[in-house]
Amino acid sequence: MLVTRKKPMIVRLSLALAAGLAGALMMGAGTPATAAGGEAPHIPREDWSFSGPFGSYDPGQLQRGFKVYQQVCAACHSLEFVAIRTLASPSGPYFSDAAVKVIASEYTVEDGPDDSGEMFEREARPSDHFPAPFPNQQAARAANGGAYPPDLSLIAKARAAHAGFPTFVFDALTQYQEAGPDYLHALLTHYEEPPEDVTLAPGMYYNTAFLSGNQIAMPPPLSDGLVEYSDGAPETVDQYSRDVSAFLMWAAEPKLEARKQTGMRVMLFLLVFAGLLYFTKRKIWSNVEH
């Protein structure tokens, strides 16, 4: 038994030091959260069919989103890492093979050189990637007032609002991995008239969700009724941006369904295996006090 006695000076000293430091740490953790709250845009978290451990893409939504991309975004934005053939993926937009051939035939790609050494243009095949709207970055900038419309293949993974402490801890526990599409949806729906004290630079638009300041060079791309839907989904800016964000998430992460399905099998196996090992371990150690 330890005899309780008055704590010596050094113990009290160290306790005070530890408490003081812990206090300072907590103060430190609290300050920036409030300081940053005023500036960073608030990105609302939406419901997505592909979130969570059982999430999967909604082919109907991806097909609508592709239509929005094709008719609106593709005028300026490339999609260079995505092959047209992947539109037929059952864990993606799930277009029929015939439909994919038709989609491919609507594009023209440069090929060659041919036998006489000339480059030539031909109809795209499903195995081709989506051709870019501009031949190079300089051409894209020249056509867009100096701003470069980024490639969209990975945009849904290349943008994320900063989640500070303690949000990022909960994000790991709740498997939040949709910061990209949340941001894209917010960006497309948060074009506003600038407040009176803000003077926009020429060719800029006011957007409260834009991560690098509130001025964005991209004009508001969507408006109600802009794209015709054949499946009865509402033809609103909110629905368009939701659909195209989902489509871009698929474009950035086409193997999401395979990943989550494989994951479930692996996790279940590991869980059972861990259980068996636990009882094996208990049995083996049962004759040893430890």
Partner 1 sequence: MSGHSTYQPQGKLAKWIDSRLPILTLMNAQAIDFPTPRNLNYFWTFGAILMMMLVVQIITGIVLAMHYTANTELAFASVEKIMRDVNFGWLLRYMHANGASMFFIAVYIHIFRGLYYGSYKAPREILWMLGVVIFLLMMATAFMGYVLPWGQMSFWGATVITNLFSAIPLVGESIVQWLWGGFSVANPTLNRFFALHYLLPFMIVGVVILHIWALHVPGNNNPTGVSVKSGQDTVPFHPYITVKDMFAMVVFLLFFGWFLFYIPNYMGHADNYIPADPLVTPAHIVPEWYFLPFYAILRAVPSKLGGVIAMFGAIAILFFLPWLDTSKVRSGAFRPLFRQFFWVFAIVCVFLGWLGAQPAEGIYVVLARIAMAYYFAYFIIILPVLGLVERTKPLPASITESVLGKKSGGGAQPAGSTAAPQDKG
Can you tell me the distance from the alpha carbon of 286 to that of 191, in angstroms, rounded to the nearest whole number?
Answer: 67
Which residues are at the interface with partner 1 (CB under 8 A)? Answer: 2, 8, 10-11, 14-15, 17-18, 21-22, 24-25, 28-29, 31-32, 53, 81, 83, 86, 150, 153-154, 157-160, 165, 171-172, 175-177, 179-180, 212, 252, 254-255, 258-260, 262-264, 266-267, 270-271, 273-274, 277-278, 280-281, 284-285, 287-290
Our CB check for partner 1 shows the closer of 96 and 174 to be 174
CB of 48 to partner 1, least distance (A): 14
Q: Tell me which residue of 159, 157, 168, 158 sits closest to 33, measured CA to CA.
A: 168
Our CB check for partner 1 shows the closer of 22 and 198 to be 22
CB of 130 to partner 1, least distance (A): 13
CB of 74 to partner 1, least distance (A): 19
User: Which residues are CB-contacts of 135 (< 8 A; sequence separation ≥ 6)?
Assistant: none
CA distances from 177 to 37, 57, 170, 259, 261 (A): 21, 14, 12, 13, 16
Our CB check for partner 1 shows the closer of 234 and 275 to be 275
Our CB check for partner 1 shows the closer of 86 and 189 to be 86
Q: Tell me which residue of 106, 55, 53 sits closest to 84, measured CA to CA.
A: 106
CB of 152 to partner 1, least distance (A): 11
Helix (H) or strand (E) holding 134: none
Our CB check for partner 1 shows the closer of 179 and 222 to be 179
CB of 69 to partner 1, least distance (A): 17
Collapse the DSSP code of 191 into the 3-class scheme (helix H, G, I; strand E, B; otherwise coil) and give the result.
Answer: strand
CB of 243 to partner 1, least distance (A): 21
Exposure class string for 143-163: b at 16+ Cβ within 10 A, else e: ebeeeebebbbbbbbebebee
CB of 120 to partner 1, least distance (A): 24
Cβ atoms of 247 and 67 within 8 Å: the answer is no
Our CB check for partner 1 shows the closer of 201 and 288 to be 288
Collapse the DSSP code of 206 into the 3-class scheme (helix H, G, I; strand E, B; otherwise coil) and give the result.
Answer: strand
Q: DSSP state, 129?
A: B
CA distances from 162 to 82, 86, 178, 188 (A): 27, 31, 13, 18
Instruction: Quickly tell me which residue has 């023209």 as its tokens.
Output: 108
Our CB check for partner 1 shows the closer of 119 and 284 to be 284
